[in-house]
Amino acid sequence: MKEPRIKFYTGVGSRETPKSILKIMYRLACKLEADGWTVRTGDADGADAAFRQVEKCQVFTADHAENRGMKLAAKFHPAWNRCSPYARRLHGRNAYQVLGKSLNCKSSMVICWTPDAATTHKERSIDTGGTGTSISIASFYNIPVFNLANADHLNRVLAFLDDRVNKKSDLYQITAPHFCAGIELRNPGQNRCALILRYMRTWTLRTIQQYVLSKEWKIEPV
């Protein structure tokens, strides 16, 4: 009987990834793990740390970077000659995060967060930071990149995480430091809300989720 093929994805991003996005990354990592996926990531704080919390995880550090990985990273770095030996190893390890330890097993997708919402080598900027190397390599190998700083990509992830998103009517509880209130989601414009949430009467579930996460509140189905 044939062994099932392991499904890999790359989970990386800025050390400055917002807390609300880190929570989404962790939830996404848990759901993907339950679906049989293994994440490839690094040992940095921020996005890497969020993805590292699951068991099916391959962590690549600067110590893993060999000449092949650094040569590949050098092709996409705008100022490789100005990088210190350690910085080169840091960029080199990104190649393994995208292509695996033998550099011959592509991740199916890259999930990340960068301040500029870059998803291709052409969109890469100084604000992309070190994650830009992973994005450039993924772009070269035609691997899709989902950057959660991109509103459309974030909405798609939120929809994927919410098993109840397609129901016509749902009751949710929103908990904040200063209140706890309910909202019944119907068609947009017809939501039934507690008075303190009346401004959400016309909002979709995804808009509410984004807002709640940005405030670091909690939303859960009742």
Share of the chain above pLDDT 90, in %: 69
| More confident site: 12 or 34 | 12
Contacts for 81 with CB less than 8 Å, ≥ 6 apart: none
Query: What's the chain's average pLDDT?
Result: 89
Looking at 138, 158, 178, the residue that finishes a domain is 158
Q: Reduced to 3 states, what is the DSSP secondary structure of residue 201?
A: coil
Domain assignment present for 128 = yes
The first and second tokens of residue 189, run together, are 């414009």
Judge if 168 and 110 occupy the same domain.
no
pLDDT of residue 222: 74
Looking at 158, 186, 209, the residue that finishes a domain is 158
- Degrees (nearest 5) of the Cα angle 70, 140, 59? 50
Q: How many CB atoms lie within 10 A of CB 176?
A: 15
Mean pLDDT of 12-35: 92
Strand ranges for the chain from DSSP E: 7-11, 37-41, 57-59, 110-112, 145-147, 170-176, 179-185, 192-193, 218-221
Judge if 152 and 73 occupy the same domain.
yes
pLDDT tens-digit series, residues 201-222 = 998 887 888 899 889 898 887 7
pLDDT of residue 188: 64
Domain range enclosing 50? 7-158
pLDDT tens-digit series, residues 171-185 = 889 999 999 999 988
Q: Please say if the pLDDT value at position 3 is more than 70.
A: no
Domain assignment present for 81 = yes
Mean pLDDT of 125-131: 92
Domain assignment present for 1 = no
Task: Report the C-alpha dihedral over residues 118, 122, 128, 134, rounded to 10 degrees.
Answer: 90
Q: Please say if the pLDDT value at position 168 is more than 70.
A: no
Domain assignment present for 133 = yes
Domain assignment present for 2 = no
Q: What is the pTM of this model?
A: 0.73
Alpha-helical (H) ranges within 66-204 are: 67-74, 85-99, 131-140, 151-161
Distance of alpha carbon 117 from alpha carbon 132, whole angstroms: 10
Structural domains in the chain (count): 2
Q: Please say if the pLDDT value at position 165 is more than 80.
A: no
Judge if 49 and 135 occupy the same domain.
yes
Domain assignment present for 82 = yes
Q: Please say if the pLDDT value at position 161 is more than 50.
A: yes
